[in-house]
Structure 1
C-alpha cells in the first residue's frame, strides 16, 4: 500500500500519514456498502450476508490497493520484463506467480467493482473533482492488458471491461439457445474441399497461452450471467467444439495456423479443453451461425460420384483414428480409476495379481482334470 499511496502524489499528500489517508479511503468505501452488495448479486451475494460492513470495506480497500499497484507495475513490466526484477511477482526468470495472479484477476468470482478502484485511484491522484466520466482506471487496465485506449469508463469490473474491449457492443444483440451449429469437423470439411487456414471464413486464429483457458472460461461465465450482452466467446467456443471431434482435427488446425499452441499443450489436453469449454452454457449469439450454415450445406452442393469416392479414404481414415483415440482414452481412464480406487498400494496390487493367477491356475487344473478323467 505504501508504494501505491506515494506514487506520484502531490507533496502535500505525501506528507500526510499513510494511516490517515487509508482511513479516509476506507470511510469513503464504507459509505458504498450497499453499492458493493448490489454488485455481488446472485450466488455471490452471501459475501454481504456473512460479512460486517467494516470488514467488507477493509477487504475492498486491501484488494483494491493491491490490484491498482499490480496494474501499474504490469504496465511497466510489459515494456521491460526486468523493470521490477526485485519484486516477487514480477521476477523475469520466474513467471509462475505472475501467471497465477493474472488468472486470479480474470476470474469472475474475484472481480472488484470498478467504483471501488475509482475511489482509491482518486485518493491516490486527487484532482479535486468527482467526475462521473472518469476513465483513468479503465485505461490503466487497457494499457496493462494491451487493449486500445478509449473514453469508456470500463463497465462493472475488469472482466466486463475485457469483454467490452474485445467484443463489438454497438450491434443489436440477438441471442438464442446454446447448441452445436457446425455438423462437420475440420477433417470432414477438408475432405469436402473446404480450404482451412487462419482468417478464412472469418475464423480468428486461436492462440493457446498460459492465461487463455482461465480467461476464456470466465468470459463465457460472464456472458452466461447476463441476458443483455453478446455471447461471442460462447459462440466461438461452440464453433471450435463442432470443428474438433478428435485429436486428428487438432493436428490439422495447428498445421493450418488456426490454432497456435504457444503453450505446447498436448493434443489430448487441447481436446478436453474444446470439449468442455462451453459445457453448461445456455445462451449464445449469431456470431458464427451464417458460417456454420454455409459449411453444413457445402458437403452436399455440387457433389459428383468422383468427388465422393475421392473423399471416402480421408473420412474413413479419420473415423478409424477417432475410434482408436476414443478406445485409448477410455482404456487410459479405466486404468487411472483402477489404480486410484482399487489398487492404491503395491501390496494390494500384488494381492490382486496373485488372486488372478490363482483363478487362472484353478481353471487350467479343472480343464486338465476333466480331460484326464
Structure 2
C-alpha cells in the first residue's frame, strides 16, 4: 500500500515538472529525446481536456499572499450573453445598411397569407428573387432563355449590353427587396436574374400588344401564343411577391428600342397585358389601343400615368384602377380619435348588408361607369358600378390589399372598397339581389361562393374606418337607414304594393273601410237628428 501511494506521488511530481518545463520553454513537452512517462489513465484524460479548451475561455489571475501564489479562474461571459451581443450587433448593421424608404416589393405578412398561401405564391412562373430557383417553377426557365435569345437575335445586340446596363442599377434594384433571399444572391447571379426575368416579362408585354407573330414566335408556341396558360401567367405576374422594379423594365425595353433613357412605355404595356384581369367588363377603348400601337412602333412617350410614375406592375395596375378617383375631404374629428381596427364584422361596420338596407327602403341600381369603385347615394338609391368576378379576382384583390397594407404612402382605396362590399354582402341572398340589378356578374359556381369570397378578403386587414373615401357615403346611408319613416314606407311598399293583386286587395279593403265608415256615420247622425 505504501508502494502504491509512493508511485502516485511520483507520477504527480513528474507531471508538475513537465508542465513547468512546457510553460518556460513555450514548446511541446513531447520530443524524441525526452523520456517516456506513463501517466495514470485519469491523469491523461484531464490533460487532454485541458489541451482541448480554448485559451480565451480560461483567464488566470495570480494573487500573491507573501510567498504563496494562488491561481484563480475568472469565469467568462455565458453563451447567451454573447449571443445577445451578436444579435444586437447584427441589428445595428441591418439598421445602418437598410434603406427602408426605397423598399417597394414586399413579402406578404404572414398574418395576411395565413390559410391562403396560394393567392400570393406563383404557380408556374417566378419573377424576381423571392421565388427564384424553386423546384416547381424551374420548368419555365427554359422558356425564359428562349425569350432572351429571341431578343438578342431580333435586336442584334450582345448580352453584355444588357448585363452592363443592369449592373449599373444593381444597388438600386436590391434596395427594392427585403429579406435573406436578397443577401444570399451574389452580384452576378442577381444581375443575371434581372436580365433573364426582365426580358421574359417584356416579351410577354410586347407580344400581348403587338402580337407574338410579329416578334418571331410561331403560332403553336407553348408559351408565347396566348393559349390557356397565359391566364395563369397573368395571375402570377400580378402578385406582389412576383415583381421587378419598373426602372429595370424601362431600361431593358429602352435598350431594345434604341432609347435607353425612355420612361413610361412599360406602364402602357402593363395596362394592356393585365386588361383581362380588370374587375369590370369594360375593355380598353379603340383610341387607347391605337395610341398604344403607335407608341410601340415609333417609341413615343405617350403614357396615361406619366404624372404619377410607378414602382412595379402592381402599383401601375392599381393606379389605373383608381384613375380620377375622388379626393377625400379632411375630417377634423379624425385627429381626436382614430380607430385602427381589424376589419371584421365583430369590430367595425361601415354599412348594413343588402337585405337590411332593402327593408329600410334603400334601392340598388347599376351605375354606368368603368370605375368600379365610384359608388354614389342619392334619394334613397345606392348606385353601384358593375363588378365582374372571376377565378382570379380573389388573388387580385388580396395582392392589391397587401400592397396597400405594406406601402405607407399609397392610400387604402382598394381596401376601403372591398370592406364596403364585404359589409354589403353577408349571404347569398345579398349577392342574388345585387346580381338581379346587374351590379355583380360572376363566373363562379354559385352566389354563396361570391359571398364567401368577400367575407374572407379582409379578415385580418388593419383598417381605419374613418380614413375611407366611402365614409361620408356610409354615414348618409346609415342616416337614411335610421330614419323610421323610411322603414315604414318600405314595409308598406313591400307588403301591399309588391304585386298587382296586393294593390287590388289594398284598394278593395280601403273602399270597404270607407263604405263602412260612411254607413256608420249616417246611422249615428240619423239617430240624433232625425229628418
- Please give the TM-score of this superposition, normalised by the length of structure 1: 0.69
Provide the residue aligned with 2:388 in structure 1. Answer: 207
User: Could you say which residue in structure 2 is the equivalent of 1:364?
Assistant: none
Match of 1:276 among 456, 471, 475: 456
TM-score when scaled to structure 2? 0.50
Following superposition, the deviation at residue 187 of structure 1 comes to 1.2
Give the 3 Å change call, closer, same or farther, for CA 218–289 of structure 1 in structure 2: same
Q: Which residue of 2 aligns with 1:366?
A: none
Map 1:12-161 → 2, pairs under 5 A? 14=156, 16=157, 21-40=158-177, 44-76=178-210, 85-89=219-223, 94-95=227-228, 97-127=229-259, 130=261, 134-146=263-275, 149-150=303-304, 152=306, 154-161=309-316
Which runs of 5 or more residues in structure 1 are unaligned? 314-373
Q: Is 1:240–1:274's contact at 8 Å kept on the other side of the alignment?
A: yes
Q: Distance in 2 between matches of 1:299 and 1:173?
A: 23
Deviation at 1:77, TM superposition (A): 5.8
Map of 1:232 onto structure 2: 413
* TM-fit CA distance, 1:211: 2.7
The secondary structure found in structure 2 opposite 1:299 is: helix
* 1:193 corresponding residue in structure 2: 361
User: Bigger shift: 235-244 or 183-192?
Assistant: 183-192
Contact 1:6 1:124 in 2 (8 A): no
Tell me which moved more, 207-216 or 162-171: 162-171
Alpha-carbon distance in 1 for matches of 2:486, 2:396:
45
**By percentage of residues, which structure has more helix?**
1
Aligned residues: 292
Q: Which position in structure 2 is the counterpart of 1:324?
A: none
- How do residues 279-298 of structure 1 correspond to structure 2 at under 5 angstroms? 279-283=459-463, 285-298=467-480
Structure 2 unaligned blocks of 5 or more: 1-147, 276-283, 289-302, 368-375, 378-382, 496-531
1:198–1:169 Cα change, 3 Å: closer
Relative contact order (C-alpha < 8 Å, sep 6+): which is higher? Answer: 1
Q: Which moved more, 1:192-201 or 1:270-279?
A: 192-201
Preserved contact between residue 173 and residue 228 of structure 1 (Cα < 8 Å): no
Q: 1:104 to 1:312 in 2, by over 3 A?
A: same
Deviation string for 1:296-324 (max 9, x for gaps)?
121222527854755898xxxxxxxxxxx
**CA offsets per residue over residues 112-145 of structure 1, 9 Å max, x none?**
0011111211221113x535xx212222223333
User: How many angstroms does 1:5 deviate by?
Assistant: 3.4
Partner of 1:256: 437
Q: Distance in 1 between matches of 2:474 and 2:172?
A: 42
Q: Considering only CA atoms, is the larger Rg found in Structure 1 or Structure 2?
A: 2
SS of residue paired to 2:251: helix
Residue 163 of structure 2 aligns to a residue whose secondary structure is helix
What's the CA shift for 1:259?
0.8
Q: Is the 8 A contact 1:181 1:289 kept in 2?
A: no
Does the 8 Å CA contact 1:135/1:151 hold for their aligned counterparts?
A: yes
Aligned pair 1:246/2:427, yes or no?
A: yes
TM-aligned CA deviation for residue 267 of structure 1: 2.2
Checking the alignment, whether the CA contact within 8 Å between 1:191 and 1:311 is kept in structure 2 is no
SS of match in other structure, 2:362: coil
Query: In the TM superposition, what are the counterparts of 1:269-348 in structure 2 within 5 Å?
Result: 269-283=449-463, 285-303=467-485, 306-307=488-489, 310=492
> Larger strand proportion, structure 1 or 2?
2
